[in-house]
Amino acid sequence: MMQKESFRTKSTHQKRMILLAEKIYGRRKDLSLSQKELAEKAGTTQRIISELENASYAPENGIGEELYDKLATALEIDRDYLFSEKIDRRTFELYSYIGLKLQWNWDIMQFMKLPYFIDLEAAKALGFQLSNLSYVRNKYGPFDKSMYVYRNLFENRAYEIQFSYINDFIGIIDRTLATLPIRNGEKLKKLSYETEPMKRIGATLGGKESWNEKLILSIKRN
């Protein structure tokens, strides 16, 4: 049992470090910084930046609050981008791409619904969704409260982005957005009730059927 618990702890830590590595690397590329330049801005060493980006940084007491704060300042991003495990780099890029398409003028309904439609099309075409959101049936339609953590990052903020993690999926994203009334949040909400995952659980606009039930986006292939 102790060996199993130790393995789970180690595995969880490794996943956390990989998540952080992707976010640091991606944001450094956004700002066109070398590892050395980022290290200088953050008041640390290039070796530490390299280890962080390779998910191999392992100080005895873990990553300190001070390092998180220095990195966030140097990367010109809210601390939650690095610190929150609800945020991953690919979803951050997806939201950034949507923001660019809307000239960063979007309401909360667009913020909730556009990733859902993209994830639904990606699940059909690829067998997996692009974001790390886990949708449930809510009065707003498909919903994940993690959206609010992302929303805080983009509140009154536009980013210069290098699309390192969604570049291969731009075609699917563009095709999906082209079929939607992307500037009308209420229409997007209504359309979400017409999608297969919502129909599968019997959800109706204004109703409370299958409240908070998880939506299954992926389709089993024969």
Of the candidates 108, 180, 176, 119, which has an alpha carbon nearest to the alpha carbon of residue 147? Answer: 108
pLDDT (0 to 100) of residue 3? 55
Mean pLDDT by groups of 10 residues along the chain of 222 residues? 55 86 97 97 95 85 82 95 95 97 94 97 95 95 94 90 96 98 96 96 94 86 46
Under DSSP, the state recorded for 155 is T
pLDDT (0 to 100) of residue 222? 43
Write the DSSP assignment of 93-118 as a string of letters: HHHHHHHHHTTT---HHHHHHHHHHH
pLDDT (0 to 100) of residue 5? 60
User: What six digits make up the tokens of 82?
Assistant: 């690095």
End-to-end CA distance of the chain: 37
The domains of the chain, with CATH numbers, are 2-79 (1.10.260.40), 89-200 (no CATH)
Give the other-Cβ count within 10 Å of 115's Cβ.
26
31 by Cβ neighbours in 10 Å (0-12 / 13-18 / 19+) ranks as middle
CA 163 – CA 91 distance, rounded (Å): 11
In degrees rounded to 5, what are phi and psi of residue 138? Answer: -135, 170
pTM for the full predicted model:
0.90
CA 20 – CA 45 distance, rounded (Å): 17
pLDDT (0 to 100) of residue 58? 75
